[in-house]
Structure 1
Amino acid sequence: MLKFPRTIRLDPSDTFVFERAAEPGEWAVSGAFVFWNQNPATLGSKQRVALRSGFLGINSLGWSTLAIVTEASEAERQAMIERLATQLLEKFGAPDAEAARLAAEEEIAFAASLCDHPPQTLLAVQRNVEGGEIRERFRTLKARPVAADADRLHTHASAFTYHEVEGDVEPAEEVDLRGLIRTNAKTDRT
């Protein structure tokens, strides 16, 4: 079996941090090409979040903070290539179908290269722009072992409390998701 990333939504944060959130379970690619030839200083705040930390869902062209390594068949891989090629032609101005297909094959191959991990491994991306080029760093997130006497109600309080980061780690921009949820909840009530 082949392995590719799929979008995953562990909480509702993607629906308000991105302009368009990917649907859970979509096949995903890095999506850095969306920002090619754009000045990050001119991007809106939600576009900057996508640039910094989003995987692109192939069907919706929405963003996901996390992706999950998932097994796929060759037929599914071919369908991913065809769908992404169509998107590149229709939405991103690829010069012709052949160029769109070649670019889609390259993006899908890169996405597969990120999945050299066991199925169900979570993937995260961190991007920045250095010298006019987009640099990407990918990390894997795995569940911490739960102590035998741990209170099981507390171990599942938040998806972000029981994961460890493997790979290169740099200081990251912090987002107060709870604060955003509280602010959003207050706005919805008024």
Structure 2
Amino acid sequence: MNLARAIHFDDSDTRVFHNPARTGEWCISGGFEFSNWSQGDLAGKAKQAFSNGWMGVETFGRVSFVAVTQIQPVEREGIIVALAQHFVDIYGAPSVEAARGVAEREVDQMIELCDDQTANTLLTVARELTDAGVRESYRVIEPQDAGLEQFAIHGSLDDEPHQH
């Protein structure tokens, strides 16, 4: 079972997103955040989050690139619970139990997207607002094309970054 973790190649996410995701945190699409948005909401850093941001499930911040990696069932469970709590805290879901099904579907959709990918494959997301709602598309960058060992910054953005 695969999911994706936030990865940073430079500090640009700290400049383009109001709340950047932490390097290494598990990520999902998070397109649900934009379900009630209109063209008027699409400006500045909010537009960048809408257009190209994956959602981290610890900070609920955004990141431009994610890398596919294996996830254990216990980690999946923790993500579902955290996301369900986020739905209670931010979106007014009546309880974690009531929000669990939606959280599970969000996580499992991302697992489905990642399961066919090789470890360390990079993914990007692109969203557009259409008459039918938010449309998402994904770009896959194979590990041999990405050169991760040359460019990836490991650790948190708060630490002194070092390159591998």
When normalised by structure 2's length, the TM-score is 0.84
- Aligned-partner Cα distance in 2 for 1:81–1:113: 15
1:155-174 to structure 2, matched below 5 A, reads none
1:18-167 to structure 2, matched below 5 A, reads 18-115=17-114, 116-142=116-142, 143-144=144-145
Kindly provide the amino acid, as one letter, of the partner of residue 69 in structure 1: V
Which blocks of at least 5 consecutive residues in structure 1 are unaligned?
147-155, 160-190
Kindly provide the amino acid, as one letter, of the partner of residue 19 in structure 1: H
Identify the residue that residue 169 of structure 1 maps to in structure 2. Answer: none
Kindly provide the amino acid, as one letter, of the partner of residue 122 in structure 1: L
Identify the residue that residue 172 of structure 1 maps to in structure 2. Answer: none
Total equivalences in the alignment: 148
The CA deviation string for residues 40-76 of structure 1, in whole angstroms up to 9 with x for no partner, is 3234310101101000000101000011101011111
- What percent of counterpart residues are identical? 35
When normalised by structure 1's length, the TM-score is 0.73
Identify the residue that residue 17 of structure 1 maps to in structure 2. Answer: 16
- Aligned-partner Cα distance in 2 for 1:40–1:140: 27
Shift of 1:87: 0.9
Give the ranges of 4+ consecutive aligned residues of structure 1 lying more than 2 Å apart after TM superposition. Answer: 95-99, 142-146
Which has more radius of gyration? 1
- Aligned-partner Cα distance in 1 for 2:146–2:6: 24
Kindly provide the amino acid, as one letter, of the partner of residue 145 in structure 2: R
- Aligned-partner Cα distance in 1 for 2:70–2:44: 34
The CA deviation string for residues 93-137 of structure 1, in whole angstroms up to 9 with x for no partner, is 223323311111010001101102011100000100111400000
Answer 1 or 2: higher relative contact order, Cα 8 Å, separation at least 6: 2
- Aligned-partner Cα distance in 1 for 2:98–2:42: 27
Kindly provide the amino acid, as one letter, of the partner of residue 9 in structure 1: H
Provide closer, same or farther for how the CA distance between residues 34 and 22 of structure 1 changes in structure 2, counting only shifts above 3 A. Answer: same
- Aligned-partner Cα distance in 1 for 2:97–2:39: 29
- Aligned-partner Cα distance in 2 for 1:10–1:97: 35
- Aligned-partner Cα distance in 2 for 1:122–1:107: 19
